[in-house]
Amino acid sequence: MTPVLIEAHDLHLQFDQRTVLNNVSLAIRAAEIVTVIGPNGAGKTSLVKIILGLQKATSGTLARAKGLRIGYMPQKLHIDRSLPLSVHRFMQLALRDDQAIAGCLALTGISHLERAPVHALSGGETQRLLLARALLRSPNLLVLDEPVQGVDVAGQSRLYQLIADIRQQQQCAVLMVSHDLHLVMEATDTVICLNQHVCCHGHPETVSEHPAFLELFGHVAPTGIAVYTHHHDHSHNIHGEISARQSSAGACKEHSHA
């Protein structure tokens, strides 16, 4: 069986009287792409912080595989335009290994920008830089918080394909967070729809034509990308299975140092 890298059971997070996460369970296996989608305020970033160890859950359990290496790509990069920071120097702040830096920049397609100032990069180039930085320590798990933010639709498609290629080449797992109405990769192995609790989850390739999936997401586009829309006209049990007018279904689916 494929090794489990992250396993969470019944995570609950509360600030004062406000519930942020309620009984959230998930598992991320080696070389698997898991995409978490949901509206603003759904608890997606809070879930990521718990997985990264930056936030402690109010209750529940979280287990990480021994020796797990995580590469993290944040939502945004804020750098003062007056700061003379090149792409190469930015990468060195994470790891002073020029060979590894060159390999990661090549993998993400921005080798030609190595001496460029970070503040001059386009939205897509910036996201590729953040992805390259997350890859520096050869992670077993990539955690990508809204990786296509600030990128146009064509660029989003290319970036999602790059992420899928990296998973294939590096055999690393990917936990990816997307925002309400963002595009969702068809190549994702598992999709989790989060709105404080797990609304629904499953394997896209097995449910993409199911009526419950179509009601939630619409038809998969020819590009291999589906537009995410979520309509709460169904109820949930504690395991996140859909119980609606239809029957239950799950949905809501080389870097080198040389």
- Express each pLDDT in 66-100 by its tens digit: 999 999 999 888 888 788 899 999 999 999 999 99
- Express each pLDDT in 45-75 by its tens digit: 999 999 999 999 999 999 999 999 999 999 8
Pick 193 or 110 by higher pLDDT. 110
Q: Tell me if 251 is assigned to some domain.
A: no
Residue 6 confidence (pLDDT) above 60: yes
Cα 114 to the center of its chain, rounded Å: 25
Q: Tell me if 220 is assigned to some domain.
A: yes
**Domain of 212, in residue numbers:** 4-67+181-239
> CA 230, CA 217: separation in Å to the nearest integer?
7
Q: Tell me if 102 is assigned to some domain.
A: no
Q: Tell me if 167 is assigned to some domain.
A: no
Q: How far is CA 68 from CA 112, 239, 258, in A?
A: 31, 27, 22
| 25 neighbors 11 (Cβ within 8 angstroms) | yes
Q: How far is CA 150 from CA 109, 156, 160, 185, in A?
A: 18, 9, 14, 17
- For the record, the structure tokens of 224 come out as 């291999």
User: What domain count does the chain have?
Assistant: 1
- Express each pLDDT in 176-222 by its tens digit: 997 644 466 566 888 888 889 887 788 766 545 545 456 555 665 54
Using the 8-state DSSP alphabet, how is residue 2 labeled? P
Q: Tell me if 32 is assigned to some domain.
A: yes
3-state secondary structure 190-250: EEEEEECEEEEEECHHHHCCCHHHHHHHCCECCCCEEECCCCCCCEECCCCCEECCCCCCC
Residue 5 confidence (pLDDT) above 70: yes
Q: Tell me if 233 is assigned to some domain.
A: yes
pLDDT, position 243: 34
DSSP SS3 for 140: coil
pLDDT, position 155: 87
pLDDT, position 224: 54
Give the CATH number, domain containing residue 11. 3.40.50.300
pLDDT, position 20: 97
- The pTM assigned to this predicted structure is 0.81
- Express each pLDDT in 230-241 by its tens digit: 444 444 443 444
- On average, the pLDDT of the chain sits at 81
Q: What percent of the chain has pLDDT over 70?
A: 75
Confidence of residue 40 (pLDDT cuts 50, 70, 90): confident
Pick 105 or 256 by higher pLDDT. 105
Mean pLDDT for the stretch of residues 122-136: 96
pLDDT, position 215: 53
pLDDT, position 133: 98
Q: Tell me if 47 is assigned to some domain.
A: yes
Q: Tell me if 10 is assigned to some domain.
A: yes
